[in-house]
Homo-oligomer: A and B are copies of this chain.
Amino acid sequence: MSESANYADAHAVVLSSRVRLARNLRGLPFPDRAPSAVRAEVCQRVMDAARERLPLQEALAGAPTLRRQLLFEGHLISRHLLTERPESAICMDAAHSCTVMINEEDHLRIQVLQPGLALEKAWQVANDLDDFLEQKLDYAFSSTLGYLTSCPTNVGTGMRASAMMHLPALVLQNEMEPIANGLAKIGLTVRGRWGEGTAALGHMFQVSNQRTLGLTEERIVEDLGEIVRELEGHEQNARARLKRERRLFVEDLAARAKGILTAARLMTAQEALERLSELRLGILLGLVRGLDVQLVDELWLAVQPAHLQAAAGRAMNSAERDKARARMLRTMLKGRTPKRAQKENPHE
């Protein structure tokens, strides 16, 4: 109980923090311009350099599409690598929190994922991994520009820091659009969880820096962290107002979401994310009992097409997935009713 309450507190608004660093090897053309032999050489050199810290290494070129989808859904590879790219690969640590993509837009994309709001921590871990790799690899670096990257928007620190935020109350109170516009004006990008634009599925938003040049990494992380904390406050205020002023509306929304998730026989991924978001809000506002936020956050990933097929151990078409997704949601959400009720009605 205390553990799940802790999880809910730490993840109420900010689900995770991420830092990624774009790096390239000196004297070699960027992946898009490099011949196959050069890309293969880059791949081998980076894998060798990373092996001690990131022992889980796999080629993405030639891997089944489903495998790349699974990694993409889990935010372990980018949309760019979802498409099959020659001589691309991924290196991961056991916890999947540190990864290096090889031959994405740049030779290396170092990524560090941390739960909750922990941008400084993510930066420290990424910086440490970067230092470790730099001992073995010769990075393309200019004393005037900083790290050189394939796309000019990344030149300088090569860093993008981002926070994954659940902002249902700001959306329901119609405050999200002006906020997103305001953030764009101060150089931040707001996108959906899988980068699908601001019409974010399930009220899940990625907030990240745009500027990479002329600022230190510490300053980027500090500035973004400040904004994210402010946005978190706005969302918490909006939630409190929602509960105070539109309690029945939000109670209805969450109760229906639970009713549908535990009853439906067919469910698309999009609807699942929408209903899970409403349920998550209801749980966090104390309006839905007997379910915890951590389960909802696990389901968020489990309802994705590739995760669903990985769990089933077989490829499924869209209609089969909708059926399997609905069954999985019914099972997972009904199985987690409070213990007392479960004991009293073992046949339910």
Most chain B CB within 10 A, of A259, A344, A348, is at A259
**For the complex, would chain A's binding face be called helix, strand, loop or mixed by DSSP majority?**
helix
Contact with B along A312-348 (1 / 0, CB 8 A): 0000000000010010000000000000110011111
Interface residues of A in 251-272 (CB under 8 A from B): 251-252, 255-256, 258-260, 262-266
Interface residues of A in 23-46 (CB under 8 A from B): none
Distance between Cα atoms of A266 and B255 in the complex (Å): 10
Decide if A248 is an interface residue (CB 8 Å cutoff). yes
Decide if A249 is an interface residue (CB 8 Å cutoff). yes
Interface residues of A in 289-307 (CB under 8 A from B): none
Most chain B CB within 10 A, of A248, A258, A341, is at A248
Chain B contacts of A266 at CB under 8 A?
248-249, 252
Chain B contacts of A344 at CB under 8 A?
344-347
Q: A323-B248, A341-B345, A341-B348 are in contact. Are A264 and B260 (CB under 8 A)?
A: no
The listed residue (B249, B259, B341, B347) touching A263 by CB distance below 8 A is: B259
The listed residue (B252, B346, B347) touching A264 by CB distance below 8 A is: B252
Assembly stoichiometry (copies)? 2
Interface residues on A, range: 20 to 34
Distance between Cα atoms of A259 and B262 in the complex (Å): 7
Chain B contacts of A251 at CB under 8 A?
265
Contact with B along A185-212 (1 / 0, CB 8 A): 0000000000000000000000000000
Distance between Cα atoms of A265 and B341 in the complex (Å): 22
Q: Which residue of B lies closest to A263 (CB)?
A: B259
Interface residues of A in 218-264 (CB under 8 A from B): 248-249, 251-252, 255-256, 258-260, 262-264
Chain B contacts of A262 at CB under 8 A?
259
Q: How far in angstroms is the closest Cβ of chain B from A223? A: 42
Chain B contacts of A346 at CB under 8 A?
344
Q: How far in angstroms is the closest Cβ of chain B from A86? A: 41
Distance between Cα atoms of A341 and B262 in the complex (Å): 17
Distance between Cα atoms of A256 and B262 in the complex (Å): 9
Distance between Cα atoms of A251 and B249 in the complex (Å): 28
B252 touches A256 (CB 8 A): no
Distance between Cα atoms of A260 and B252 in the complex (Å): 10
Distance between Cα atoms of A259 and B259 in the complex (Å): 4
Distance between Cα atoms of A259 and B348 in the complex (Å): 15
The listed residue (B248, B258, B263) touching A256 by CB distance below 8 A is: B263
Chain B contacts of A341 at CB under 8 A?
345, 347-348
Q: Which residue of B lies closest to A330 (CB)?
A: B255
A255 touches B248 (CB 8 A): no
Q: How far in angstroms is the closest Cβ of chain B from A243? A: 13
Q: How far in angstroms is the closest Cβ of chain B from A208? A: 37
Chain A residues within CB distance 8 Å of chain B: 248-249, 251-252, 255-256, 258-260, 262-266, 323, 326, 340-341, 344-348
The 6 closest A-B pairs by CB, nearest first: A259-B263, A345-B345, A252-B265, A259-B259, A252-B266, A255-B263
9 additional A-B residue pairs with CB within 8 Å, beyond A255-B263, A341-B348:
A249-B266, A251-B265, A256-B260, A256-B265, A260-B260, A341-B345, A341-B347, A344-B345, A344-B347
